[in-house]
Structure 1
Amino acid sequence: MGDRLKVPDRPAPTDPLREDRLVSGYSFAGGSPAPAEPVTLTNVAFFPDIDTGEFLTLYRIPTEIDAQIIEHQLLQAMTRTNHSLQTWRATQESEGHTALSDVPAESLGNESELVRLYKRAVMCEAKAELLKETETVDRRAVAENAAKAGEETEDKYREFAAEAIRVIAGLNRIGVALI
């Protein structure tokens, strides 16, 4: 039949969907990637910085979620929370308070309750966004509890964030709006 063209030996191309690779921040190998190193996200001067390690621990964020996604959602939540408190912040600054921690408030565990509420608002908002972003990915096919990642839980975290903002601003915990 004639001479065949001999192809030199080459390593097999890497398969982007290999089991042991991360795709969109999720591992399909069954194991969990090492958790990301905690970083501190710098906020504007008035509001406290946010620690990603504290968020990961307190809000039980799966290690499969990429650190950049977590940081992005926390920064977005910081922006939204800061914007929601913009008028209240201006009032506090006009009274001479240069930081949220300077505003008179009860202290719990060596931290102002206003600082705790601010962190809760940011972290609940970020958790809600992460739930929305990851709801279509089945992290644990057998053990996943749909109620933990459902819309109701996402809405609950948004409700927690809104409540924390209202308490900081000195507003009623329940708001009324025309439909």
Structure 2
Amino acid sequence: MSFIAFAPPSAGGAVSLPEAGSVENDGFYPDIVLQDVRDNMRLDGTVTSPRLTQAIVAAVLHVNAELRDWKLGKIAAGFASLAAVPADRINRESVNIAHYRRAVYCWAKADLTERYRDFDSTASSMSDKKMMEALDNAPAEQRRNAHWAIADIVGRSHMTVELI
């Protein structure tokens, strides 16, 4: 006799975890809500809440360090928060906040993808070799997106250089 248990189906095939909580930031940058990261970066229950929190903390630390000099300049100019820095608005929010969240989310997902190499099974129709190549490239692509978001905040152009 054998027994096979299947997970209950959910929208899009992902397991959604209702989750309260956020990673509190330094007061200048916005806090990062765990459920928003899950929703935006398509992270299901494979990534536990403690692991997600750890990845977000590491991402916040990295992005904040990258923006340290820019932030100090804005504080010296009298701006108490990222939201107070003059910028265009999208969806009733400063584009700088959108770029900041993107940088943190992408950096966290790159970290998670490296540690859960096979957790992204959305490309199940690809051959194993193609899937592994896509998963190998995914962290680098997420880090590129994070660097571009940071560049958008500080006003640098996007540039990717690869050694041959």
Same fold (TM over 0.5): yes
Tell me the distance in 2 between the aligned counterparts of 1:95 and 1:87. 12
Q: Which amino acid aligns with 2:124?
A: A
Shift of 1:30: 4.4
1:17 corresponds to: none
Q: Which amino acid aligns with 2:47?
A: I
Please give the root-mean-square deviation of Cα atoms over the aligned residues, in Å.
2.7
Q: TM-score, normalised by structure 2?
A: 0.81
Tell me the distance in 1 between the aligned counterparts of 2:92 and 2:161. 35
Shift of 1:138: 6.0
Q: TM-score, normalised by structure 1?
A: 0.74
> 1:125–1:161: 8 Å Cα contact kept in structure 2?
yes
Matched ranges for 1:141-160 at <5 A? 143=124, 146=131, 150-160=135-145
Query: Closer, same or farther in 2 for the Cα pair 1:34/1:110, shift >3 Å?
Result: closer
Query: Closer, same or farther in 2 for the Cα pair 1:68/1:106, shift >3 Å?
Result: same
1:54 corresponds to: 36
Q: How many residue pairs align between the two structures?
A: 150
Normalized per residue, the structure richer in helix is 2
Gapped runs of 5+ residues in structure 2? 9-14
Gapped runs of 5+ residues in structure 1? 1-28
Shift of 1:63: 1.3
Query: Which is bigger in relative contact order (C-alpha 8 A, separation at least 6)?
Result: 2
Tell me the distance in 2 between the aligned counterparts of 1:81 and 1:31. 36
Q: Which has the larger radius of gyration?
A: 1
Matched ranges for 1:112-123 at <5 A? 112-123=94-105
1:9 corresponds to: none
Shift of 1:128: 0.5
> 1:138–1:144: 8 Å Cα contact kept in structure 2?
no
**Residues 79-132 of structure 1, C-alpha deviation per residue, up to 9 Å, x if partnerless?**
000000000001000000010000000111111000000000000000011100
Identity within the alignment, %: 26
2:61 corresponds to: 79
